[in-house]
């Protein structure tokens, strides 16, 4: 992502293989930080997510990658929580409509389940876990909105076309710079950066 020059440069492994997450984070990485993803490291094996909470899955991924590479690292796990569906898809967001992780099918399932429901309140929740030899710490980022009645926009990824912001725009209708400023992922990552500055 960035070259590691000056001596105060911080190097961090981002324990993800999701290119979209990497691209969003890249926009808000401070100049003194070099973020290296698992894609950069050529690590392609899917990371296990065996638990039923974002916190535990995020911790599992970060610890695994820290043990593997022995370098300061962070992971993030994100889920979409829809109130009228009792918090689903939540931790099952990637595979909501099946193992093939097909986002069109995942979104169609949500739209079908909600039907004409008036209560469409939802939020994205990101849990970042930062692991070093000295500490393990988590940071949460939330983005509140609602599930629209149709898919809108071509930007972003995942559930962005059906997640509407309070102003009525779908997350897939704003560009990635704007998304990074307001998003669950951006908020959690900025908390990590402030922690690193302490």
Chain positions contacting ligand ITT, by CB under 6 A: 16-18, 21, 47, 77-78, 93-94, 103, 124, 156-160, 183, 185
Judge whether 112 and 97 are in contact, CB under 8 Å: no
Nearer to ligand ITT, 9 or 136 (CB): 136
CB of 167 to ligand ITT, least distance (A): 17
CB of 171 to ligand ITT, least distance (A): 6
Nearer to ligand ITT, 6 or 166 (CB): 166
Cα 53-58-59 angle, rounded to 5 deg: 100
Judge whether 78 and 46 are in contact, CB under 8 Å: no
Catalytic residue at 48? no
Judge whether 195 and 33 are in contact, CB under 8 Å: no
Nearer to ligand ITT, 156 or 196 (CB): 156
Q: Which of 77, 102, 116, 119 is catalytic?
A: 77
CA distance 155 to 148: 16
CB of 133 to ligand ITT, least distance (A): 22
Nearest position to ligand ITT, beta carbon: 158
List the end-to-end C-alpha distance of the chain, in Å, as a whole number: 23
| 80 SS3 class | strand
Query: What is the token pair recorded at 27?
Result: 């926009």
Query: What is the token pair recorded at 169?
Result: 């725009």
Judge whether 104 and 160 are in contact, CB under 8 Å: no
CB of 86 to ligand ITT, least distance (A): 17
Nearer to ligand ITT, 120 or 185 (CB): 185
The catalytic site residues sit at 77
């Amino acid at each position: 992502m960035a070259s590691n020059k000056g001596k105060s440069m911080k190097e961090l492994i981002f324990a993800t293989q999701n290119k979209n997450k990497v691209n969003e984070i890249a926009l808000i990485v401070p100049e003194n930080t070099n973020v290296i993803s698992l894609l950069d490291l050529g690590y392609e094996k899917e990371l296990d997510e065996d638990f039923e909470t974002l916190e535990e899955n995020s911790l599992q991924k970060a610890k695994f990658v820290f043990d593997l590479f022995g370098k300061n690292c962070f992971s993030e796990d994100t889920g979409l929580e829809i109130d009228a569906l009792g918090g689903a898809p939540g931790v099952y967001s990637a595979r909501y409509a099946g193992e093939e992780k097909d986002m069109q099918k995942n979104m169609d399932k949500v739209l079908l389940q909600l039907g004409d429901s008036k209560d469409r309140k939802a939020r994205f929740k990101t849990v970042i876990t930062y692991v070093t030899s000295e500490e393990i710490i988590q940071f949460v980022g939330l983005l509140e909105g609602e599930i629209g009645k149709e898919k809108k926009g071509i930007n972003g990824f995942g559930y962005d076309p059906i997640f509407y912001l309070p102003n009525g725009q779908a997350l897939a209708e704003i560009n990635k710079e704007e998304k990074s400023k307001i998003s669950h992922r951006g908020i959690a990552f900025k908390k990590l950066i402030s922690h690193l500055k302490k």
